[in-house]
Amino acid sequence: MERIILHIDMNSYFASVEQQANPFLRGKSVGVCAYLSPGGCIIASSADTKARGIKTGCRVSEALKLDPDVVLVENEPAKYRSTTEKIFKLLAEYSDKLEPYSIDEAFLDLSGWVKNYREAKNLALEIKARIKAEIGEWLKCSIGVSFTKFLAKFAGDIAEKDGMLVIERGNLETIFKGRDLKDAWGINYRMEARLKAIGINNLFELKNYDPVDIKRQLGSYGYYLWANVNGREISSVAREEALPKSIGHSYCLPKKTKDKKYLLKIMYKLCEKTGRRLRSLGLEARKINFYAGYARWPGNKPDEAGDSKIASPGGWANRPTAGGLNKLFTPGDKVFTTEEIFNPIHDFIIKTEMLLPVSLLAVSVMRLAPISGQANLFRDNLKPRSISLAMDKLNDKYGEYTVVRGLMFGADNLARDRIGFRKTVGLKN
């Protein structure tokens, strides 16, 4: 029996959750912001807001110029997470294989749960109806159904908002005819340029290209793209999320400054948030990356979200470039506690001259692996690890930042919780 995969994508998710929670926002132009200050950026927009040109990355000041009547609200991550948990719990009733892809997307493997596409379509309609009836009448979703993950997501991406699209083997040619390369999952503007350089200008041409030739010219990733649009299964729906390749947090400073005491207070909180996530996943890290973005660096062009592009790990060390400082650390031991993440960054900031006021701080940990349990023979790292886990347990039970170290006093309103669309919500038994 042919596999049947369903992809669900919630429409204008953060804005829709806000409208569901507050009926006075319904029918109005709504933008969800990282921060409400003029320099804050829009992270989600309602459908009518997008129609007015206010899209993700737009500054608050620009949004108000485009639509003076737009209602701007600051994001509340806990609200979105709790709604997503309800949606995923509902989806888990329809298959034993549910894979969260992001905060507002998921895959379901319906193979064996439905007999054909007609049953899958009826099930999709039932899911849409139950989300509105049981979770929120203002929540809408697009659903794609096909025989591979790629095609199911592609169907969901190109389906009408609050609609559904089924792609079967017999209609691949029709589906891809006239479709832009960047309509496909996994093709960005750089890959689009490489494909066009070898004569592939749209997805229909990609589908009909010689697989041997595309692998010769673009390597295994070129063949991967060709296989996807030809309905060759590349990956299956996983029962749980794959381990992340990195974990990190960033913060645009409301106060542009060279004050190292202020910068270290914020950096410690970013390290604590990073460490909490690292420990909650039962992981250790072998590398730490630090970035400080300068304000008003000559020739520094902001990206679409308005922030300096973060330098790639290991590219620079203690020199101003691309608008800031970047430093990659490789500690002698595996990193687990907040202090193990923060200490090398602290030492680097103390001894480094800030040539310009800092506007952005970021930290991430990489080379992740499950906790080995192997103690270090040359230093006792078990006690601080036990203390960190005990503090995490208290904060899990009584609320975030109930127990903190002294460096975080007075940092309640700094680097507040945020959430991105590629963040997922773990499934709970």
Residue 417 confidence (pLDDT): 56
For range 311-337, the mean pLDDT: 64
User: For residue 221, what are the contacts with CB-CB under 8 A and spacing of at least 6?
Assistant: 191
Is the per-residue pLDDT at 323 higher than 60?
Answer: yes
Average pLDDT over residues 184-207: 91
**How high is the pLDDT of residue 359?**
85
CA dihedral 10, 16, 21, 24 (to 10 degrees): -160
SS3 335: strand
pLDDT at 241: 59
pLDDT of residue 299: 42
Query: Which tokens in the block code for residue 212?
Result: 């041997």
Q: What are the structural domains of the chain?
A: 1-167 (3.30.70.270), 173-238 (1.10.150.20), 246-408 (3.30.1490.100)
Residue linked to tokens 């072998």: 286
Q: Give 85's pLDDT tier (boundaries 50, 70, 90).
A: very high
Residue with token string 């129609």 = 51
- For residues 296-319, give the mean pLDDT: 37
Q: Does the pLDDT value for residue 425 go beyond 60?
A: no
User: d(Cα 205, Cα 198) in Å, to the nearest integer?
Assistant: 11
Task: Give the residue-averaged pLDDT of 200-204.
Answer: 93
Q: How far apart are CA 333 and CA 286, in angstroms?
A: 7
State residue 304's pLDDT score: 32
**Given this model, what pLDDT does residue 152 score?**
94
- pLDDT, mean over the chain: 82
pLDDT (0 to 100) of residue 289: 94
* Residue 369 scores a pLDDT above 90: no
| Out of 280-289, 370-379, 384-393, least confident range | 370-379
Confidence at residue 219, expressed as pLDDT on a 0 to 100 scale: 92
Q: Find the range with the poorest average confidence among 88-92, 100-104, 287-291, 386-390.
A: 386-390
For residue 429, what pLDDT is reported? Answer: 40
What mean pLDDT is predicted for residues 212-216? Answer: 93
In the numeric block, which tokens belong to residue 367? Answer: 């080379």
Give the containing element (helix H, strand E) for 325: strand 324-329
In whole angstroms, what is the distance from residue 214 CA to residue 249 CA? 38
Q: Predicted confidence band at 130 (pLDDT cuts at 50, 70, 90)?
A: very high
Residue 382 pLDDT exceeds 70: no
Read off the pLDDT band of 313 (50, 70, 90): very low
Confidence of residue 197 (pLDDT cuts 50, 70, 90): very high
Per-residue pLDDT at 403 exceeds 50: yes
DSSP state of 87: H
Whether the per-residue pLDDT at 245 is higher than 90: the answer is no
Euclidean distance between CA atoms 258 and 320, whole angstroms? 14
pLDDT at 149: 93
Residue 418 scores a pLDDT above 80? no
More reliable by pLDDT, 90 or 252: 90
- What is the distance between the alpha carbons of residues 385 and 337, in angstroms, rounded to a whole number? 6
pTM for this prediction = 0.71
CB 182 within 8 A of CB 157: no
Residue bearing the bigger pLDDT, 412 or 369: 369
Q: How much is the pLDDT for 228?
A: 92
What integer pLDDT is reported at residue 56 of this predicted model? 81
pLDDT digits (tens, 9 = 90+) for 132-183: 999 999 999 999 999 999 999 999 999 999 999 999 988 888 899 889 999 9
Higher pLDDT, 415 or 6: 6
Which of the residue ranges 31-35, 126-130, 364-368, 406-410 has the most confident prediction, judged by mean pLDDT?
A: 126-130
What pLDDT was estimated at residue 402?
66
Nearest to 52 by CA among 23, 74, 72, 34: 72
Q: What per-residue confidence (pLDDT) applies to 40?
A: 76
For residue 243, the number of C-alpha atoms closer than 13 Å in the C-beta half-sphere is 15
